[in-house]
Chain A
């Protein structure tokens, strides 16, 4: 029995296309065109992962509302926003409401599947003890590539999947400069440079919330970013 994924999307073609791909990949997919139907079904039984569009039929921000309601129902349910809206504001709003990721609709199926798989893996991994080989240690930073979690000085840094993959890409070869294009590939997103810049900014903020002196992610202007070992701790 495959994992149950719910797609809430008012555009029939997209909904069915995604559903078809996901089903082909062994998932059990339920589709809902609007918020009412979705929440009704979710209250009866929660899916294991939700793909959400923001604009749902008449409700311009129906996706946000639904995300809010879902988070109230379950804290751990993975929620991915899959939307045409690419503004910084929408992205921040979505993530703030507790979504695990925010993707624009131009993402390729392969990438989407990778993310879904990763999120499920993370949920599974959280139930099993961490395995040594999947953990990378960089000074105070511990990254579990299996459970997709990061800790800084022992405190969990609440990264989205995209953010986690960016951090992961940076720390794999500390000191090496990663261009924005490389980071995009690693994070399995196809966005523009400034989106990467804002992702980096958010990542820094999340680390800085734990350690105000955090300066390990260094901007190499004109090139990209690198994990600077010397800047890890002071």
Chain B
């Protein structure tokens, strides 16, 4: 299996993904730090708030607060949205669920058997802006309204209100409508005649009938309420007697002393802590020493910006839900170890899960100390969601950036790898093409001038090619040098022999015959050596000649047939069979060379043909290629020879025995030289029909029709 450089580099670039892994681990480790940071921050906040409140002990001296007895006071929740006095309880939201149930336990007065159907109610208080809102959901099987004409206010179903006003006086009010709808309170003198009532317009509300009773929604201005507040609902069932059958109250309102207290969160403290709790997700509480909430600011739930990509990372780090159940959201008292500890004067920190295990809340409590007396505590709370959010954000950032870096680096690497492999491929191609099919070095200039390893490689390739070329040149020049160098000693021998011969002639009388024989043999040997030398340099001379030959356009068929006629004369014993194309075949080239090439092929064929078998010469044109084939019967070409090798210089596969003339294996080499010069190819194949060889020369046809005309 071969991996390209490109895929390897791409594979390597995958290691970049270790960056986000390391980052992920780091972020996980960062959690510890972030937790500590959160703790510190909460503690600091609690301490700071406590510090502020320390300097304002008067805020805690409100009589409203400090005199609250231990039993349950009425607690007014703070509403975010206004309430319409319309008899519809929907605008109370989930406060309704926190409403207190008032039934048999709270009976103040009763005659006859009690049934919750006859009278029971749910009650909740709420604060919005300057008003205290009260909701009563009453179950009453028999509704009895006040007779409009009646002056007695206690002869029908009614609501009693006992309220201590800022002047410390306690007043009693009654809401006793003559029918459902808008209602106002009547102020009745305490223990006095209820008939002498006057309308109190500031306490108003709506009386709305329901399937099993009625609903009262009331509004009382906050500045009217001081410390105590109590409600009671009276039920009248007998239209005739019109006596109060049952009276159920939020506290024992018959005696002014036993009227319950109302707890209204302190707006002043709230104003102080509000700016400190402006950090989203942070909630501050200020408690009195009874653990009651004096002020609350902020919300644990916060809006997180959800990046769309974050979804991708949520699998890495569980996303914390902001939809956890916040049990304490509407608490009027805060419980917990940290609170206990703070109220004992010790700042404390607690981690706790929400009841639904969706979030972890960290709360830090700090005591508020005035004159060495713990008067309350500040509790700062935050969920760990912020930590997770930070982590998620960090991881998301990390991943996003890694993704970008990865993309960029990968692209760069890809580009680099591509460039590298292109350069290498170029180098390979150049190296392959630097040596042609004949093993000849065509160029020694290879590759780039780049100063890197590839440049180095190409330079060393060039150097190798240069050496190879030198060696090739040496080899190629060998023949001609050899012939050149041999000529001189040959000339010495020849001239010496000739001198000797002429001397012999002068002294003809002595023993003439014997020495003549030897001289003649020596001369024959010299002639043969001469021929070898001539043949040796033939190819070289041809190569030199090719460089300044002038090409002309000529008719090949005529040339070949003329040549064949010549061969019949030269080789009278040989049978030649010419199958030449009937159409003129035009070739752009040197006719002498083509004839020389054919000479070599024929001479080769004659040498290899057996007996009287004819040598077939075929010439035909196929599309743009001229086929010139010389076919002889006889021995097949040895299978082990590589075709190209056959046409190499100094390669001969002739049998060594019985040769008359020296063969240096240059004949077919010359054929290839000439064919190559004409842009053609040479092939040698065995004949499939009968034993023998086919030598074919493929030449390109002259492609100038204009030249064709000029020839004719």
Contacts and interface: CB of A to CB of B under 8 A. Distances in A.
B566 A221 contact: yes
A33 B468 CA distance: 38
A222 B567 contact: yes
Interface stretch (B202-210, B256-264, B296-304, B496-504): B496-504
A110 B592 CA distance: 31
Contact of A222 (B530, B537, B538, B563): B563
B592 to A, nearest CB: 5
A24 B502 CA distance: 9
B492 A84 contact: no
B586 to A, nearest CB: 16
Nearest to A104: B487
B491 interface: yes
A11 B488 contact: yes
B531 to A, nearest CB: 8
A127 to B, nearest CB: 30
A97 interface: no
A88 interface: yes
A179 B567 CA distance: 12
Given A190-B530, A222-B567, A13 B591 contact: no
A222 B488 contact: no
Nearest to B485: A84
A11 B495 CA distance: 12
B502 A14 contact: no
A222 B495 contact: no
B483 interface: yes
A106 B533 contact: yes
A194 B596 CA distance: 8
A222 B545 contact: no
Interface string A90-111: 0000000000000011101110
Nearest to B502: A24
B534 interface: yes
B490 interface: yes
Contacts of B535: 192
Interface stretch (A15-23, A142-150, A209-217): A15-23
B495 A17 contact: yes
B480 interface: yes
A56 to B, nearest CB: 13
Contact of A194 (B483, B506, B542, B567): B542
Contacts of A21: 495, 498-499, 502
A191 interface: yes
Contacts of B563: 221-222
B595 interface: yes
A108 B540 CA distance: 24
**Among B490, B534, B563, residue most surrounded by chain A Cβ atoms (within 10 Å):** B534
Interface string A183-206: 000000011111101100000000
B484 interface: yes
Contacts of A20: 499
B544 A17 contact: no
Given A85-B484, A223-B565, A14 B538 contact: no
Given A194-B545, A222-B565, A223-B566, A109 B487 contact: no
A220 interface: yes
A220 B566 contact: yes
A11 B545 contact: no
A35 to B, nearest CB: 18
Contact of B545 (A104, A198, A224): A198
A14 B566 contact: no
Given A222-B566, A222-B570, A88 B544 contact: yes
A51 B277 CA distance: 123
Contact of B596 (A18, A179, A193): A193
B541 interface: yes
A106 B541 CA distance: 17
B571 to A, nearest CB: 11
Given A222-B563, A222-B598, A223-B569, A14 B541 contact: no
A60 to B, nearest CB: 12
Given A21-B499, A194-B542, A221-B559, A84 B566 contact: no
Contact of B487 (A13, A84, A191): A84
A87 interface: yes
B534 A197 contact: no
A193 B495 CA distance: 24
A191 B534 contact: yes
A217 to B, nearest CB: 12
B106 interface: no
A87 B566 contact: no
B585 to A, nearest CB: 15
A175 to B, nearest CB: 15
Interface string A11-55: 101100110110010000000000000000000000000000000
Nearest to A192: B534
Interface in A162-190: 179, 190
Contacts of B31: none
Given A222-B566, A222-B598, A17 B488 contact: no
B498 A88 contact: no
A86 B598 contact: no
**Among B480, B491, B598, residue most surrounded by chain A Cβ atoms (within 10 Å):** B491
A151 B533 CA distance: 36
B312 to A, nearest CB: 79
Contacts of B499: 17, 20-21, 24, 109
A194 B670 CA distance: 12
Nearest to A92: B548
A7 B75 CA distance: 145
Interface in B457-495: 480, 483-485, 487-488, 490-492, 494-495
B538 to A, nearest CB: 5
Contact of B498 (A109, A194, A197, A222): A109
A83 to B, nearest CB: 8
A14 B534 contact: no
A20 B256 CA distance: 170
Contacts of B506: 24
Contacts of B537: 86-87
Interface string B524-535: 000100100111
Contact of B488 (A105, A109, A219): A105
Contacts of A85: 484
A44 B180 CA distance: 163
B495 A221 contact: no
Contacts of A197: 592, 596
Contacts of A109: 494-495, 498-499, 502
A147 B316 CA distance: 113
Contact of B491 (A105, A179, A191, A220): A105
Given A221-B591, A223-B565, A105 B490 contact: yes
B599 interface: yes
Contacts of B570: 179, 222-223
Contacts of A190: 527, 530, 534
Nearest to A222: B566
A108 B498 contact: yes
Contacts of A194: 538, 541-542, 545, 596
A129 B569 CA distance: 43
Given A14-B488, A88-B541, A222 B534 contact: no
B592 A222 contact: no
Nearest to A12: B492
28 contacts: A11-B488, A13-B496, A14-B495, A17-B492, A17-B495, A21-B498, A24-B506, A84-B484, A85-B484, A105-B488, A106-B530, A109-B495, A109-B502, A179-B570, A190-B527, A194-B542, A194-B545, A197-B592, A197-B596, A221-B591, A221-B595, A222-B562, A222-B563, A222-B570, A222-B595, A222-B599, A223-B569, A223-B570
Given A17-B492, A108-B498, 9 more contacts: A11-B491, A13-B492, A13-B495, A20-B499, A191-B534, A194-B542, A195-B541, A219-B595, A221-B566
- In the A-B complex, the 7 residue pairs with the smallest Cβ-Cβ separation, listed nearest first, are A222-B566, A222-B563, A17-B495, A223-B566, A84-B487, A105-B491, A109-B498
